[in-house]
C-alpha cells in the first residue's frame, strides 16, 4: 500500500487546491489569501467522531468568525454526501469533496490505517491552521475530537 509521504510543517507554504463544496461552488485556497484558514480533514460524513467534530466546529463557529478565521472541512466523500451531512447538522461552513484524494495527499493525511488487524487507506484526522500569508501556522495530526476546538481557538 502506498502512503502519503508529504509532511507539512509550520512555516511551509500551504499547498494550493481547488475543490467543490456540497453546493457545487468552487473553493481555492488562493481565494482566501489575507484570511486565517482552518482546514480540517475528517474521514467520513455521518460517522460518530466526524459528526462530533463537525458539530464542535459548528458550535464554536462564532468564535472563529470573530477572530476572522474561515473554516473548511475536507473528506473524500462526494458533494451529495456532504450536502446531506451539512443539512442534517446545520453546519455553517463549506465541506469540500476530495473524491480523488488530491487534497488529502497534498497535505499528507491520506495514510495507511489499521483496524482490527485489517490495513486500509484512509484519512488521518488532521487540522491545519493557515495564516493570511498562505503559510502553515499550526499542524494538528491524529486529532482527538474532545478538546480539539479549544486547543485550536488558543492558537488563532
Local structure of residue 125 (DSSP, 8 states): P
Return the number of other C-beta atoms located less than 10 Å from residue 13's C-beta.
12
Average pLDDT over residues 130-149: 96
Dist. CA 130–CA 135, nearest whole Å: 6
Q: Residue 65's pLDDT band (boundaries 50, 70, 90)? A: very high
Q: Interior CA angle at 27 toward 93 and 103, to 5°? A: 95
Averaged pLDDT score across all residues of the chain: 94
156 touches 64 (CB < 8 A): yes
Give me the residues paired with residue 112 across strands: 121
Contact between 41 and 6 under an 8 Å Cβ cutoff? The reply is: no
What residue has cell string 463537525? 54
For 118-130, the pLDDT digits (tens) are 898 999 999 999 9
Q: What is the pLDDT of residue 129?
A: 97
CA separation for the pair 7, 153 (Å, rounded): 23
Strand 110-115, strand 118-123: pairing? antiparallel
Q: Domains (ranges, CATH) in the chain? A: 34-155 (3.40.30.10)
pLDDT of residue 4 exceeding 80, the answer is no
**Does residue 5 surpass a pLDDT of 70?**
no
Q: Which three cell numbers stand for residue 104?
A: 488529502
pLDDT one-digit tens code per residue, 8-42: 999 999 999 999 999 999 999 999 999 999 999 99
So which residues are the catalytic ones? 50
Beta partners for residue 97, in sequence order: 75
The phi, psi pair for 105, rounded to 5°, reads: -70, -40
Cα 4 to chain centroid, rounded: 16
Looking at residue 148, its pLDDT comes to 94
Amino acid at each position: 500500500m502506498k502512503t502519503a509521504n508529504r509532511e507539512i510543517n509550520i512555516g511551509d507554504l500551504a499547498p494550493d487546491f481547488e475543490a467543490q463544496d456540497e453546493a457545487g461552488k468552487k473553493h481555492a485556497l488562493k481565494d482566501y489569501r489575507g484570511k486565517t484558514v482552518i482546514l480540517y480533514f475528517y474521514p467520513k460524513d455521518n460517522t460518530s467522531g466526524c459528526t462530533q467534530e463537525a458539530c464542535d466546529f459548528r458550535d464554536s463557529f462564532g468564535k472563529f468568525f470573530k477572530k476572522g478565521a474561515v473554516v473548511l472541512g475536507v473528506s473524500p466523500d462526494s458533494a451529495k454526501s456532504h450536502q446531506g451531512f451539512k443539512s442534517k447538522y446545520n453546519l455553517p461552513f463549506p465541506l469540500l469533496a476530495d473524491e480523488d484524494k488530491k487534497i488529502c495527499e497534498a497535505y499528507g493525511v491520506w495514510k495507511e490505517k489499521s483496524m482490527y488487524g485489517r490495513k486500509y487507506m484512509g484519512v488521518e484526522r488532521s487540522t491545519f491552521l493557515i495564516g493570511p500569508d498562505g503559510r502553515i501556522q499550526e499542524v494538528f495530526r491524529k486529532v482527538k475530537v474532545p478538546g480539539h476546538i479549544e486547543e485550536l481557538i488558543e492558537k488563532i
